[in-house]
């Protein structure tokens, strides 16, 4: 009997070869069960989903890869480190594992990467779980102000400020990001300590390039919105409003294009699975049980 059948809630840590690159991913649940694909955000990795996966693995097959240049996956020289490149990677990864239709979790950078995949392969998308992912420019939070200034005037000084934020202290700020002190106590320093320890000069340069290039991604926002309007995928929106990048207004904006979506706001922030896991997981379970179950 396989580990997945003996103990479906146990997270398994695996590697595969993809286009000459060694890819790390976490997996839980039984192969053949309905799939939930879990692309991570910045500055994180599949570690983001380590506690959610066991809570759903009795009914779903959960898979969370580390993107190239992130976590334990390789950092190949010939990879295209932008949102199109990451979306292509995610598509190839899903094909390699033989996924048919799947639900996808959209969070942080993973939201735009996942939506680019959805635009490419709409027939693959069974449902969306949307959590603090931004695709509406008019409701971006105040922490975007520095980046918006850089987009208007992309100077070397502005790029240096971005580079300064790609640091251990910058990672800490990204993970704590506006939550009240008593909620910050729930966010383990393992998050920024681990992910900073996995950075080197090459990865740091990639991160700076991706952040500096976010203006191009914002240009895609109308395309993401059009996909939602055209396809109306079943959607669950779970959101932590204590988020300087993506406040409550960013969550409610999704209802413009997904008026039938379920929206739930929590006493939490950008990393909702760290602060509110046991409130969020039952909602995901109920939602997937209605729209994406065997």
pLDDT of residue 164: 96
CB 249 within 8 A of CB 161: no
**How confident is the model at residue 3, as a pLDDT?**
58
**pLDDT score recorded for residue 1:** 47
Angle at 140 between CA 142 and CA 178, to 5 degrees: 45
SS3 sequence, 66-115? Answer: CCCCCCCCCCCCCCCCCHHHHHHHHHHHHHHCCCCCEEEEEECHHHHHHH
Q: What is the pLDDT of residue 2?
A: 58
For helices 109-120 and 83-96, give the axis angle rounded to 10 degrees.
Answer: 60
pTM over 0.75: yes
pLDDT at residue 6 in the model: 67
Mean pLDDT by 10 residues, the chain (294 residues): 68 97 98 98 98 98 98 98 98 98 97 98 98 97 95 94 97 95 96 98 97 93 98 98 97 98 97 98 98 94
Q: What is the pLDDT, as a whole number, of residue 294?
A: 85
Domains, the chain, with CATH or none: 3-142+219-291 (3.40.50.1820)
Q: For residue 152, how many C-alpha atoms fall within 13 Å in the half-sphere facing its CB?
A: 6
């Amino acid at each position: 009997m396989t580990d997945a059948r003996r103990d479906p809630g146990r997270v398994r840590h695996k590697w595969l070869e993809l286009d000459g690159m060694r890819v790390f991913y976490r997996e839980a649940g039984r192969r053949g069960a309905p799939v939930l694909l879990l692309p991570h955000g910045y500055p994180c990795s599949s570690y983001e989903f380590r506690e959610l996966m066991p809570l759903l693995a009795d009914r779903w097959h959960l898979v969370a890869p580390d993107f190239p240049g992130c976590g334990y996956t390789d950092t190949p020289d010939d990879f295209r480190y932008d949102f199109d490149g990451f979306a292509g990677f995610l598509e190839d990864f899903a094909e390699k594992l033989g996924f048919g239709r799947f639900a996808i979790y959209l969070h942080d950078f993973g939201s735009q990467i996942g939506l680019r995949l959805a635009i490419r392969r709409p027939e693959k998308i069974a449902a969306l779980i949307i959590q603090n992912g931004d695709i509406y420019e008019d409701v971006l939070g105040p922490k975007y102000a520095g980046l918006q200034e850089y987009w208007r005037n992309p100077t070397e000084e502005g790029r240096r400020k971005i580079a300064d934020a790609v640091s251990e202290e910058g990672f800490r700020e990204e993970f704590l990001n506006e939550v009240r002190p008593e909620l910050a106590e729930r966010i383990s320093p393992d998050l920024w300590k681990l992910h900073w320890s996995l950075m080197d000069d090459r990865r740091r340069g990639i991160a700076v390039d991706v952040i500096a290039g976010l203006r191009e991604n914002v240009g895609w926002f109308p395309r993401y919105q059009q996909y939602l309007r055209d396809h109306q995928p079943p959607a669950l929106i779970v959101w932590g409003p204590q988020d300087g990048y993506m406040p409550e207004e960013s969550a409610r904006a999704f209802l413009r294009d997904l008026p039938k979506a379920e929206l739930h706001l929590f006493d939490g922030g950008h990393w909702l699975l760290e602060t509110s896991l046991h409130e969020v997981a039952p909602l995901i379970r109920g939602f997937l049980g209605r729209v994406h179950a065997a």
